[in-house]
Chain A
Amino acid sequence: MTPQTLYEKIWNAHLVRDVAGQPSLIYIDRHLIHEGTSPQAFAGLKSAGRKVRRPDLTFAVMDHSVSTKNRELPVLDADAAGQFEALARNCKETGVRLFDMHSRNQGIVHIIGPELGITQPGLTIVCGDSHTSTHGALGALAFGIGTSEIEHVLATQCLSQAKSKTGIIRFNGKRPKGVTAKDFVLALIGKIGIAGGTGHVFEYAGDAVRGLSMEGRMTMCNMTIEGGARAGMVAPDEVTFRYLEGKPFVPRGKDFQVAVDHWKSLAADPGAKYDMVLDIDAAALAPQVTWGTNPGMVIDVTGRVPDPNSFADPVDRKAAERALVYMDLKAGTPITDISIDRVFIGSCTNSRIEDLRAAAHVIAGKHVARNVKQALAVPGSRVVKAQAEKEGLDRVFLDAGFEWRDAGCSMCIGMNDDVLPSGERSASTSNRNFEGRQGKGSRTHLVSPAMAAAAAIEGHFVDIRKWDVNGAE
């Protein structure tokens, strides 16, 4: 038999119908939904007189617009309140399990899936959110879909899909101190461009990826979509199994061993072929900072804001010129000279316990700089929040002058009132630095949690490798 990749194994195991000249019909094992992109899908389903085929495989959570302050107060934003009510009503009517904003397990959909063990190796997982790629870190095939596809999955538990091309990205060597999974994926996007992965599913491999924690792998898979690839994956290994054991939706005892044996069989066969192969020397990577208005506009922290004239392609040159105007940056400025107004530590990219520990480690015993108007620490879930509080991290953040918030998408997308004001500049651990992403006219620089924390203390970007007084992870 032809050797198969991880992606191909999962794909083939989920083929419901495969007819030449037509997209394949694949079965969906887990459908995650949230308040932002699902109301129209439920409405469509209802108006067509259709039912949710597998409410038991569908999980809902409120995350995009939830307040990260006091949730016992009424929701003042009428549109957001309407979406919360619609989700609660739709779940009640169809029997879908909902983690509402008051649940102990509430959090960002891509944080709680793995955390609850709803996400498992070998499963197909979809959600009406592009960062669904996150779940691939556990060896699942997971990708974002639109609202029409949400409706399709609700009605049929299947998705009509063309098979993707495959790519393997190997990060070889040892991860340097101060360089994180976030820097890996930002460096990758900088290299291939934000459309470099279009049409592909990426698998991450190599010693440096194997050496990452589950959290780090999730950060990499999360931002895979920013490189244009719809899904990122890591073959499950001992790190994955240890992470999953004991999670609420993960089998116990003998059943767990049976599951692990199956999960072990998912890794690519020796000799499996990929459409794209890329080797990256992890040992040579530096902390990354974005300077422009998409995640591919990124540079080493030791670098300078690039000169648009250095881009050969006139279209790229024009895009860089526009980006510098929007970002109010001058070509040639050292990255470490860029001062910031606000800091956001959170989002489905970097709000897991390890991220909060890394940031807390950097700021312990220090205080945010005077020019920093606001520093937000927003745990990805209430479970992460509780764990952080158990470890005393909330005190570390509060003592350093950070605000310690409740779980949600928050300032990554600014759908609640955590908005970056126009003209202000953030150091953000989120995933998108698009124009207006964190608020109309806002200027976002994407960095790792440790880099964001250090920037909060100094008021400008610093090279965490040199600055680090507490000893970075």
Chain B
Amino acid sequence: MEPFIKHTGLVAPMDRVNVDTDQMVPKQFLKLQTREGYGRVLFYDWRYLPSEQPNPEFPLNFPRYRGASILLARANFGCGSSREHAPWAIHDYGFRVVIAPSYADIFYNNSFKNGILLVTLSDAQVDDLFERLERQEGYRLTADLEKQIITDESGLKIPFEIDPFRKNSLLKGLDDIGLTLEHETDITAFEKSHPVTAVMYDPVDVKLSQPA
């Protein structure tokens, strides 16, 4: 995984509560077999008109937010489906940081596994950032994971909390599977003391139809 240490970038707003992962990547794009290339379809139904032209009313299409790499969002961001295509799309679009008051559990896990820093701030802090963003064109923030602080160029400083284990994994870009495999002896020991089997007592899986 790509490490995340510190990032400075242009901020874009997603001023809606409960943005679900169906909006981030609609189902018609779930039939691919890659982890890459979803940036172009991020927020597809909101971002594009039925003619497939960019929707001029959607903030990510505003010229002032072009090139944004920090997304400012509202509560329960990423609710709904477990599709990891959502964080893949966010990352592929160019976002490295999301700031919101809360996230849905599965999306939260999925994002950290893709090198995206999700910062949780209070409602009041997020409201304040939305106001600053609205007021100032070209508003930029810095997210410093090591120091656990969000700063802007006018001296704003907002510390944030993060689970120390997630922080360390993100700072070092650790491979979760590799980490777990370091404990293979524990897994093998568990399998010996708690044997798990799935025995089929009745034959199943007779073919009903035939492939074309």
Residues of A that sit less than 8 Å from B by CB: 13-14, 16-17, 21-23, 25, 27, 29-30, 36-37, 39-40, 43-44, 48, 50, 53-54, 56-57, 59, 64-65, 71-75, 77, 79-80, 82-83, 86, 97, 99, 101-106, 116, 118, 128-130, 144-149, 151-152, 155-158, 160, 162, 194-195, 198-199, 226, 228, 230, 248-252, 294, 315-316, 318-319, 322, 382, 413-415, 422, 432, 434-437, 440-441
Contacts and interface: CB of A to CB of B under 8 A. Distances in A.
Interface of B: 16-18, 20, 22-23, 26-28, 30-35, 45, 50, 74-76, 79-84, 87, 102, 104-106, 109-110, 113-114, 163-165, 176-177, 179-181, 183-184, 186-187, 190-191, 194, 196-212
A319 B23 CA distance: 14
A434 B80 contact: yes
A57 B74 CA distance: 39
Contact of A105 (B102, B184, B204): B204
B50 to A, nearest CB: 8
Given A40-B34, A74-B212, A116-B204, A16 B186 contact: yes
A25 B180 contact: yes
A102 B23 contact: no
Given A156-B181, A322-B16, A194 B79 contact: yes
Nearest to B184: A156
A436 B201 CA distance: 42
26 contacts: A27-B190, A27-B194, A40-B34, A56-B197, A65-B31, A73-B212, A75-B212, A86-B33, A101-B209, A102-B208, A104-B206, A145-B82, A146-B84, A147-B35, A148-B84, A155-B180, A155-B181, A156-B187, A195-B18, A195-B76, A195-B102, A198-B105, A228-B104, A249-B200, A415-B28, A436-B26
A359 B32 CA distance: 35
A17 B180 CA distance: 10
B18 A294 contact: yes
Contacts of B75: 195, 315
A298 to B, nearest CB: 14
Contacts of B190: 16, 27
Contact of B198 (A37, A57, A146): A57
Contacts of A97: 205
A37 B79 CA distance: 17
Nearest to B114: A148
Nearest to A159: B180
A56 B198 contact: yes
A17 B82 contact: no
Nearest to A161: B109
Nearest to B207: A102
Contact of A157 (B16, B102, B187): B187
A228 B105 contact: yes
B186 A21 contact: no
A180 to B, nearest CB: 23
Contacts of B76: 194-195, 198, 228
A129 B82 contact: yes
